[in-house]
A and B are shown apart, each in its own frame.
Chain A
């Protein structure tokens, strides 16, 4: 049973436009959500996170939105840049991101075209 789902395996966006990556989860006990960015043959790099007590967190070009009633979160990248091309993993945890194990989605490969 997949608790964290990223239903789009890939996404292609034009440079300068918005990239929206989606993530759904099934476990209502999750209270902390994170997005990681991963280049081939490298470990994931932390991007942005959000606690379940919030519905939005913004950091520069990256914004994460959380809809608890729909058990859905999304990552918005505006404006998208070619260097953003990577695989993005959504991850969820309970008891806070530093306490519980992270459960990862399968990732979405983002391609930003010049």
Chain B
């Protein structure tokens, strides 16, 4: 199946710093990528839809100035958590829209101290 990679897989940072997470579709071009956040014992919550060459569409309640999304090419989307705080600690997962399904990356565990 299609492969989507994420980097880094795990990051620990200090409060107030910014963290960038990369999402790459390795064997197909994805005009649309999605960013999800998983809370403990809860479902995957869609944060934003990232479209190549245009601004991302954010879900209600997601701060666009805090979670910066850039979809610069058909194979790369980045999520930058700016001025991270401990409440931003979570598991962030990207997915890329393929021909018949969405394919997910392995996720990034962010811990903000």
A residues at B contact (CB < 8 Å): 9, 34, 36, 41-46, 49, 89, 97-98, 101-102, 104-107
Which residue of chain A has its CB nearest to the CB of B6?
Answer: A43
Q: How many Å from the CB of B60 to the closest CB on chain A? A: 13
> B34-53 vs A: 1/0 string, CB under 8 Å?
10000001111010010000
A43-B42 contact, Cβ under 8 Å, with A97-B101, A98-B97, A101-B49: no
Q: What residues on A are CB-neighbors of B49 within 8 Å?
A: 101
Q: What residues on B are CB-neighbors of A104 within 8 Å?
A: 43-44
B110 interface contact, C-beta 8 A: no
Q: What residues on A are CB-neighbors of B8 within 8 Å?
A: none
Which residue of chain A has its CB nearest to the CB of B94?
Answer: A43
Q: What residues on B are CB-neighbors of A36 within 8 Å?
A: 104
Which of under 10, 10 to 19, 20 to 34, or 35 or more describes the interface residues of B? 20 to 34
B residues at A contact (CB < 8 Å): 1, 4, 6, 34, 41-44, 46, 49, 91, 93-95, 97-107, 109
Q: What residues on B are CB-neighbors of A106 within 8 Å?
A: 41-43
Query: Secondary structure at chain A's binding surface: helix, strand, loop or mixed?
Result: loop
B101–A41 touching, CB < 8 Å: no
Which residue of chain B has its CB nearest to the CB of A90?
Answer: B43
Which residue of chain B has its CB nearest to the CB of A97?
Answer: B101
Contact of A101 among B6, B34, B91 (CB under 8 A): B34
Q: Taking each of B1, B34, B95, B105, which has the highest tally of chain A beta carbons within 10 Å of its own beta carbon?
A: B95
Which residue of chain B has its CB nearest to the CB of A102?
Answer: B102
